[in-house]
Structure 1
């Protein structure tokens, strides 16, 4: 079984922008947002993905992701009640990649940094631009942001 181990943080400054090596626009919607399982469809640039995630167990959860044709992803996004619009910026640091999501639309103003780890207790470089950890705050789950956007907090 595939396991995702991820920590999520707010940002303390924009200093991360100087280290970005790639940025991609993402459209992302949810076909299911049940707390026990989410089913996400994503169009990342010109590539589609379908992802099933299990319930969070701390910072770990089951994750299964499959590529799908871009046209199929676009058609599935049309089935989603709300579609997130964000730009994902990648920053490499200490042998790991930070994914920094800058949200647009109803979630504009929200920027979060995520890091996927090889184990729950893995050490990682904590950059100066990193702010408070929000891994355990369900308001920052993308599935929650699709239902209750940042602009309505």
Structure 2
């Protein structure tokens, strides 16, 4: 057992973009202080006018996660440390018929042809029992190539392999 906060999440590619009319969204830019090979992930995120510093550990379905709010000035002071390891996206937060919520990301920049959707769960059993809606595509939860810290350093050639 751990006393660290856990994130239990599944991630999917999109098969079909759902109707997002009226679904709240935020513009996100995030950068990684750590490299994609590091076992611990130290991330800066700006979501509209909110700023966060996060640390994540582990792999797969269940990971540890701690996040703290920081000021815009703190974010901007640390942001240069993420040069070459950044992701920009629009995140839509919506609801699913089973009561879960989803985070649908439409990436920008080099990743502009990529769209993913994530669903968080209260337990591993709930995550494993989840039946995705028709518009979800391939489950990439366990594929390290689709973690945002890996996507932050993807070039257009590698992106073509991921979205091909």
Structure 1 length normalisation: TM-score? 0.91
Kept in 2, the 8 Å contact 1:43–1:74? The answer is no
Kept in 2, the 8 Å contact 1:6–1:116? The answer is yes
Count of aligned pairs: 150
The 3 A distance-change label for structure 1 pair 11 and 76 is: same
Q: Distance in 2 between matches of 1:111 and 1:70?
A: 27
Equivalent residue, structure 2, for 1:27: 29
Matches within 5 A, 1:26-105: 26-33=28-35, 34-56=37-59, 58-82=60-84, 83-93=86-96, 94-105=98-109
Mind listing any 5+ residue stretches in structure 1 that lack a counterpart? none
Mind listing any 5+ residue stretches in structure 2 that lack a counterpart? 159-164
What is the alpha-carbon root mean square deviation over aligned residues? 1.5
Deviation (angstroms), 1:124: 3.4
Structure 2 length normalisation: TM-score? 0.85
Q: Deviations over 1:20-47 (max 9, x none)?
A: 5201000100011343201000011001
3-state SS in 2 of match to 1:14: coil
Deviation (angstroms), 1:53: 0.4
